[in-house]
């Protein structure tokens, strides 16, 4: 059953009648729509075809059958959705451009806004990777991720190029990104390590490789083409942890050196990333057994488990090779420990100074508090002494007044008892005894009062004297301890400042400074010694060195000499420093 062309967009159920006796109606509605193409991507592809063309539009899933064409050449549909049709372009024998058409059953839709352009197939001239001296040879490691540079023509004609390596009849792929029509960057594919057999020597495992660039056949099995060597697979590099205590290395110079093995056999500087906390260490040199990089001038913050900055920890040094290899080397601390040739760091100096100032202020406060306490005790003692004196005067005055009153009363009493004098007149004996006893009792009472007062006064004086002596001893002890603490503080500050020069920097003489710059980790170098040669040959050797010095003064010779040394891949950074 076929449908006729509608007059417009119609939607409704499908009704089937059989001789007007039987009627069946569909549960779903059937819609008459007008498919329309809105855009295409990409707009060009190689003449060999195979480009996945995406045709965007409206109602692209209309009809029971659809066909796509590019400039009259069929485009094989692989997927059809409501707003998208995907197809693979056919090969074209000529370089031309064509319009995109999609046929829905008997309805044809044409895209007139843009055209698809058939361009020349990509051509690959060179495939290379690794460090200098390894040009023209693609290299990689089992973990993959090594940058492979591809040079040629029309490399950007393909939208999704891929590189592959064949191992045991199995292809392992990785993606490529075209930088321009002449250059493309790929990452070496990852291959299983257990399927590779390294003999332990310097010889790599050679593998077949090629590129999948749509249907371009000339770039497949590229290693079988004359002039293209096989892909060389080397063992994964190894980076060794720091050998210092607790794997904490202290930052001493402008460069950081990390040791390892097989570092540059397949890698170059751009393949290695060195992270220090949240920052990076700029890789400047890579040799077979050593990596050199320049850390940040200031210590970067460390990273916690969530990747957030953590300034309370020492940052870790992580080496990343490719996309999968990571090595935890240790930690890099910018706080250099004090040594004979190293100045104390600024935070230590500030901390010691602050501690000294705090101790000095504490001593001053102790002396002020002691002085105030001593003054207060003296004032209390003086007040007590004055009160005792007043009490003594008051008791003496009262005793004196009481004795005077007693004497007056006795006089009055005796005057009242007096009788005319006569030979037979005298006081009665009981009266005399009573008066005498009363006087003796009063006298004894006064004596006891005076003795008690004196004892109390003496005891108070003794207590005051003891307190005064204790205060004097306390004063001497506090003064002695403060003096000793201040002397110790002054000695520590003297020891600290004696290690520093006027500006806080330990200046060295020119010779020592030059040796530490050129040979930072060497105490005894052959350059500092006299030549140990036969006296007969010494004159000829000195003449040869003089002539070599004349050649070094020649700019052309010096440049050729340096370039020759730089081209040697076994010439490490330490050797460069020694030659310099």
CA distances from 579 to 256, 543, 561, 574, 576 (A): 20, 20, 11, 9, 5
In a domain? residue 435: no
Contact between 77 and 66 (Cβ < 8 Å): yes
pLDDT score, position 85: 93
Q: Is the pLDDT of residue 427 over 70?
A: no
- Report the distance separating Cα 579 and Cα 257, nearest Å: 19
Q: Report the pLDDT value the prediction gives residue 453, as an integer from 0 to 100.
A: 76
* Residue at 12 is within a domain: no
- Are both 472 and 534 inside the same structural domain? no
**Per-residue confidence (pLDDT) for residue 479, from 0 to 100:** 76
Q: Higher pLDDT residue, 520 or 244?
A: 244
| Mean pLDDT on 249-260 | 87
Confidence of residue 419 (pLDDT cuts 50, 70, 90): very low
Q: Is 321 contained in some domain? A: yes
Backbone angles phi, psi at 10, to 5 degrees: -125, 145
Of residues 410 and 493, the one with the higher pLDDT is: 493
User: What confidence tens digit (pLDDT) does each residue in 47-82 have?
Assistant: 999 999 999 998 888 888 899 999 888 999 999 998
Same domain, 371 and 484: yes
* pLDDT, average across residues 516-526: 69
Residue 20 lies in a domain: no
Same domain flag for 179 and 214: yes
Band of residue 510 on the pLDDT scale cut at 50, 70, 90? confident
Q: For 311-358, write each residue's pLDDT tens digit.
A: 888 999 999 998 889 999 999 998 866 554 555 556 666 776 777 777
Q: Residue 519: inside a domain, yes or no?
A: yes
More confident residue, 369 or 145: 145
Model pLDDT for residues 486-500, shown as the tens digit of each residue: 777 767 666 555 555
Spatial distance between the Cα atoms of 385 and 398, rounded to a whole number of angstroms: 20
Q: What is the pLDDT of residue 175?
A: 94
Is pLDDT at 104 greater than 80 in this prediction? Answer: yes
pLDDT digits (tens, 9 = 90+) for 206-243: 999 999 999 999 999 998 888 899 999 999 999 999 99
| Containing structural domain, residue 139 | 123-233
Query: Within this chain, do residues 545 and 566 fall inside the same structural domain, yes or no?
Result: yes
Pick the range with the lowest mean pLDDT from 121-135, 192-206, 341-355, 436-450: 341-355
> What pLDDT sits at residue 395?
55
Q: Which residue, of 181, 214, 233, is where some domain finishes?
A: 233
Q: Strand 139-140 and strand 231-233: pairing?
A: parallel
Q: What is the domain-level CATH number for residue 40?
A: 2.60.40.10
**How confident is the model over 461-472, as pLDDT tens digits?**
788 888 888 888
The residue that leads in pLDDT, 475 or 422, is 475
Burial of 76 (0-12, 13-18, 19+ CB in 10 A): middle
Q: Is residue 438 part of a domain?
A: no
Asked if residue 282 belongs to a domain, the reply is yes
Q: Which segment of 341-350, 406-415, 559-568 scores lowest on mean pLDDT?
A: 406-415
Q: Is residue 444 part of a domain?
A: no
Task: Of 144, 151, 145, give the one whose Cα is nearest residue 128.
Answer: 151
pLDDT tens readout for residues 153-169: 999 999 899 999 999 98
Backbone φ and ψ for 435, nearest 5 degrees, come out as -65, -40
Q: Give the DSSP H/E element, type plus range, for residue 329.
A: strand 325-333
Q: Are residues 184 and 37 in the same domain?
A: no
pLDDT for 294: 93
Per-residue pLDDT at 320 = 95
Q: Which of 233, 267, 299 is the last residue of a domain?
A: 233
Q: Both 215 and 269 in a single domain? A: no
Q: Are residues 307 and 365 in the same domain?
A: no
**Cα 83 from Cα 88, distance rounded (Å):** 17
Out of 505, 523, 555, pick the residue that ends a domain.
505
Considering only 391-405, 437-451, 484-498, which range has the smallest mean pLDDT?
A: 391-405
- Of the chain, the percentage scoring pLDDT greater than 90 comes to 30
- What are the pLDDT digits (tens) for 266-308? 888 989 999 999 999 999 999 999 999 999 988 899 888 887 8
Looking at residue 257, which CATH number applies to its domain? Answer: 2.60.40
> Is 115 found in the same domain as 128?
no
Task: Report how many domains make up the chain.
Answer: 5
Give the DSSP letter string of 8-27. S-EEEEEEEEETTTEEEEEE
User: CB-based burial of residue 139 (10 Å sphere; 0-12 exposed, 13-18 middle, 19+ buried)?
Assistant: buried
Asked if 187 and 219 count as a contact pair (C-beta separation under 8 A), the reply is no
Looking at the fold, whether 190 and 140 belong to one and the same domain comes out as yes
In this predicted model, what pLDDT tens digit does every residue of 170-196 receive, in sequence order? 999 999 999 999 999 999 999 998 888
Sheet holding 139-140, edge to edge: 123-128, 147-153, 183-187, 170-178, 162-167, 205-212, 231-233, 139-140
Same domain, 96 and 167: no
Contacts of 121 (CB under 8 A, 6+ apart): 46, 47, 48, 154, 157, 216, 218
Does the pLDDT value for residue 537 go beyond 80? no
Do residues 327 and 215 both lie within one domain? no
**Chain CA centroid to CA 96, Å:** 56
Check whether residue 295 and residue 246 sit in a common domain: yes
């Amino acid at each position: 059953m076929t449908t006729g062309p509608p007059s417009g967009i119609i939607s409704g159920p499908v009704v089937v009648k059989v001789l007007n006796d039987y009627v069946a109606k569909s549960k779903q509605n059937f819609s008459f729509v007008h498919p329309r193409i809105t855009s295409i991507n990409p707009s060009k592809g190689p003449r060999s075809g195979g480009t996945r063309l995406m045709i965007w539009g409206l109602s692209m899933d209309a009809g029971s059958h659809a066909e796509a064409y590019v400039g009259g050449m069929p485009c094989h549909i692989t997927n059809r959705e409501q707003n998208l049709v995907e197809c693979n372009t056919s090969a074209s024998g000529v370089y031309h451009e064509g319009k995109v058409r999609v046929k829905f059953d008997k309805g044809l839709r044409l895209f007139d806004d843009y055209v698809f352009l058939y361009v020349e197939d990509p051509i690959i001239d060179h495939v290379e990777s690794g460090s200098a001296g390894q040009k023209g040879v693609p290299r990689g490691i089992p973990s993959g991720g090594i940058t492979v540079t591809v040079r040629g023509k029309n490399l950007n004609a393909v939208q999704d190029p891929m590189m592959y390596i064949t191992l045991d009849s199995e292809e392992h792929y990785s993606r490529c990104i075209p930088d321009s029509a002449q250059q493309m960057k790929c990452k070496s594919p990852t291959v299983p390590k257990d399927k590779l057999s390294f003999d332990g020597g310097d010889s790599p495992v050679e593998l077949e490789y090629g590129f999948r660039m749509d249907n371009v056949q000339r770039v497949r099995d590229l290693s079988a083409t004359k002039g293209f060597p096989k892909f060389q697979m080397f063992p994964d590099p190894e980076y060794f942890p720091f050998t210092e205590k607790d794997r904490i290395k202290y930052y001493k110079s402008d460069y950081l050196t990390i040791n390892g093995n097989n570092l540059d056999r397949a890698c170059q500087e751009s393949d290695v990333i060195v992270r220090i906390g949240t920052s990076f260490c700029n890789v400047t040199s890579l040799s077979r057994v050593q990596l050199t990089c320049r850390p940040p001038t200031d210590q970067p913050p460390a990273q916690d488990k969530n990747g957030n900055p953590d300034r309370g920890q020492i940052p870790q040094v992580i080496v990343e090779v490719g996309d999968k290899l990571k090595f935890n080397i240790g930690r890099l601390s910018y706080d250099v420990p004090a040594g004979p040739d190293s100045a104390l760091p600024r935070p230590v100096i500030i901390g010691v100074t602050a501690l000294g100032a705090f101790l000095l202020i504490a001593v001053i406060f102790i002396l002020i508090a002691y002085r105030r306490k001593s003054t207060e005790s003296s004032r209390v003692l003086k007040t007590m002494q004055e009160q005792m004196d007043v009490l003594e005067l008051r008791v003496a005055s009262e005793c004196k007044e009481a004795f005077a009153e007693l004497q007056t009363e006795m006089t009055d009493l005796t005057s009242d008892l007096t009788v005319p004098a006569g030979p037979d007149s005298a006081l009665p004996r009981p009266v005399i005894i009573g008066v005498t006893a009363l006087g003796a009792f009063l006298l004894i009472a006064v004596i006891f009062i005076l003795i008690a007062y004196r004892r109390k006064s003496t005891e108070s004086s003794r207590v005051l004297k003891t307190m005064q002596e204790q205060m004097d001893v306390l004063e001497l002890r506090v003064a002695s301890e403060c003096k000793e603490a201040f002397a110790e503080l002054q000695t520590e500050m003297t020891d600290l400042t004696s290690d520093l020069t006027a500006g806080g920097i330990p200046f060295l003489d020119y010779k020592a400074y030059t040796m530490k710059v050129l040979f930072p980790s060497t105490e005894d170098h052959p350059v500092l010694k006299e030549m140990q040669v036969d006296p007969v040959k010494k004159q000829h050797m000195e003449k040869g060195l003089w002539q070599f010095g004349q050649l070094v003064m020649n700019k052309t010779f010096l440049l050729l000499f340096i370039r020759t040394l730089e081209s040697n891949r076994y010439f490490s950074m330490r050797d460069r420093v020694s030659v310099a």
